[in-house]
Amino acid sequence: MHDNEVINILLNQLSFSPKNISDLKIFKNELLKANTRHNFISKNTETVIWHRHILDSAQLVKFIDFSKGSLSDLGSGAGFPGLILALFNKNKNFHVKLYEKSPVKRAFLRDISDRLSLQIEICGNIYNESIDTDYIVSRAFKKLESIIQVSREIAKKSHKLIILKGQNAQEDLKKAFNKEKYDYKLENSITNEKSKIILVDFKK
């Protein structure tokens, strides 16, 4: 998928604004600069960053009500998906937290969030924190069992867990939920026909 096709999807299907697209272009350029030094994303995905990373993250806006609440991103890395969601968010009262244990990646997230005037709280290791947000999102963080453990043991309130997962999502869910059962849904990813988006409602 060409970059212009991705931008059209962002504008016309996911309701990103022209200002959002301008900010995403700045973010992409700064990420590529940083990637020459720190390898934040795989080198072979640099030429498809709009599709592989930005759109893959941006599609989650369909499952989040930004009119109220708060969101945590587990293992945000270079900002996927949490920074992309924060960039889309237009509600100053909707709070976004990015959890990232790497000091180098946290520095990048702070720099780009300041550059784009994003209201983001950047935190360290999730296991040193208590999570009290309405949404928890994750992309390429840990095995599904570990993410479920965070939702079950570290999250302090009822929340919706949203996970971008590969083609083994159904099998991984069975392993993760082998003892306890939770209500969940699988949605198709718009970036890869074999990938899934897992939606789980956790009640506390």
Model confidence at 180: pLDDT above 70: no
Mean pLDDT of 188-201: 91
Model confidence at 176: pLDDT above 80: no
Looking at the domain that runs over 3-202, which CATH code has it been given?
Answer: 3.40.50.150
Name beta bridge partners: 200: 161, 184
The whole-model pTM stands at 0.93
Instruction: Report CA 48 to chain centroid distance, whole Å.
Output: 18
> What are the tokens at 79?
């900002």
54-58, 80-84, 148-152: segment of lowest average pLDDT: 148-152
What backbone phi and psi angles, to 5 degrees, belong to 96?
Answer: -120, 130
> Alpha-carbon Rg of the chain, whole angstroms?
16
| Rounded Cα distance, 57 and 139, in Å | 8
pLDDT of residue 60: 98
pLDDT of residue 178: 66
Q: What is the rounded average pLDDT for all residues in the chain? A: 91
- pLDDT tens-digit map of 91-105: 999 999 999 999 999
pLDDT of residue 63: 97
pLDDT of residue 191: 94
Mean pLDDT of 53-82: 96
pLDDT of residue 147: 86
> What are the tokens at 168?
């083994």
Model confidence at 143: pLDDT above 70: yes
Mean pLDDT of 61-66: 97
Alpha helices in 13-139 (DSSP H): 18-38, 49, 56-58, 82-88, 103-115
Helix (H, G, I), strand (E, B) or coil at 87: helix
pLDDT of residue 125: 85
- pLDDT tens-digit map of 122-136: 999 888 878 999 999
| Rounded Cα distance, 126 and 201, in Å | 20
Confidence of residue 179 (pLDDT cuts 50, 70, 90): low
Nearest to 131 by CA among 145, 152, 110: 152
Domain residue spans in the chain? 3-202
| Rounded Cα distance, 139 and 163, in Å | 6
CB 106 within 8 A of CB 100: yes
